[in-house]
Homo-oligomer: A and B are copies of this chain.
Amino acid sequence: MNIGIIGLGLIGGSIGLGLRKLNFVDKFIGTDSNEENALHAIKLGIVDEIIPLQDLIMQSSVIILSIPVDGIEKILPSILNEIGKDSVILDTGSTKYDICNKVSSHPKRSRFVATHPIAGIENSGPIYANSDLFYKKNCIICDSELSAPDAMSIATKIYSIMAMRMIYMTSKEHDLYIAYISHLPHVISFALARTVLKKFKNEEKIFNNMMGSGLDSTTRLAKSKPETWLPIFISNRENMIQAIDFYIDHLEVFRNYLINKKFHDIDKYMKKANDIKDKKYV
């Protein structure tokens, strides 16, 4: 059997490298609309062959769809139309509700497994791909009751081989929770980058001289690709608005304590925030 990867960026590339251990795969084949990515993917051993999308769909028993979420939504129905009855397709998008909704009444819905392997870095492209990206991280599988048992079994095998832990929830729950846990931190980081870049527009030297590790870590996500993130924000728009508003409320509580010199309340606020120490990211 062949595994076909559509989208050979950081995620698709890391899956390609991570799955090399699978001994039942004949060939890894791939496609990417970006020619440079495709070339890198061959050079880096992510896939054995680059072939056109239509051929990949025909020749793959398992298809991994690792492109931006708007792209997934767009091509998933037509891929489902074309794949054989035993083939499996899984996507890796960071939003799940719109994607699942798009194919909810597709006759081959059960061949699709909606997944979100939670891993990533601010850098994109196959040159940053690595076989350990997903090591011991969590993979959210959504609406799993709509996928066929054999399709589920292949999907979990694929993620297990990369040592991921499977978590199950509905696509609706996924999008709400991930709005807070992943999408909101990205917005916060983009906004912080814009704030300091604007503030120091004419003081570039001072900015470079004063930058410390604190700003570095809080603006790390602001380096993320708009091409990936705009479709995520669009797809998860309503949850995002709710999350941003909830966050601004918390920020304003702090601000108002400061304005009203309620320093004891600021102390309590920080002490409660310190509880984040107990949340270990594996």
Contacts and interface: CB of A to CB of B under 8 A. Distances in A.
A78 B82 CA distance: 82
Contact of A271 (B207, B226, B234): B226
A128 interface: no
Interface in A200-222: 200, 203, 206-222
Given A178-B210, A213-B119, A187 B230 contact: no
A258 interface: yes
The interface centre, meaning the residue of A118, A273, A274 with most chain B CB atoms within 10 A of its CB, is A273
Interface in A227-241: 229-230, 233-234, 237, 240-241
A189 interface: yes
B192 A223 contact: no
Number of copies of this chain that the complex holds = 2
Given A215-B185, A217-B220, A138 B209 contact: yes
A202 B167 CA distance: 17
A222 B184 contact: no
A191 interface: yes
Contact of A181 (B120, B210, B281): B210
A64 interface: no
Contact of A281 (B191, B216, B246, B277): B216
A197 B192 CA distance: 21
Contact of A274 (B119, B199, B222): B222
* Interface bracket on A: 35 or more
A219 to B, nearest CB: 5
A135 interface: no
Interface string A20-40: 000000000000000000000
A208 B282 CA distance: 9
Contacts of A243: 195, 199
Contact of A209 (B167, B185, B210, B271): B167
Given A223-B277, A241-B258, 15 more contacts: A181-B215, A184-B195, A185-B218, A188-B251, A190-B254, A192-B247, A193-B275, A194-B272, A194-B273, A198-B246, A217-B220, A218-B218, A222-B276, A241-B259, A248-B255
Across chains A and B, which 8 residue pairs bring their CB atoms closest together, nearest first?
A216-B281, A226-B270, A193-B273, A193-B276, A185-B218, A190-B273, A191-B251, A191-B250
Interface of A: 118-121, 137-138, 140, 165, 167, 169, 173, 177-178, 180-182, 184-200, 203, 206-224, 226, 229-230, 233-234, 237, 240-241, 243-248, 250-255, 258-259, 261, 263, 266-267, 269-277, 279-281
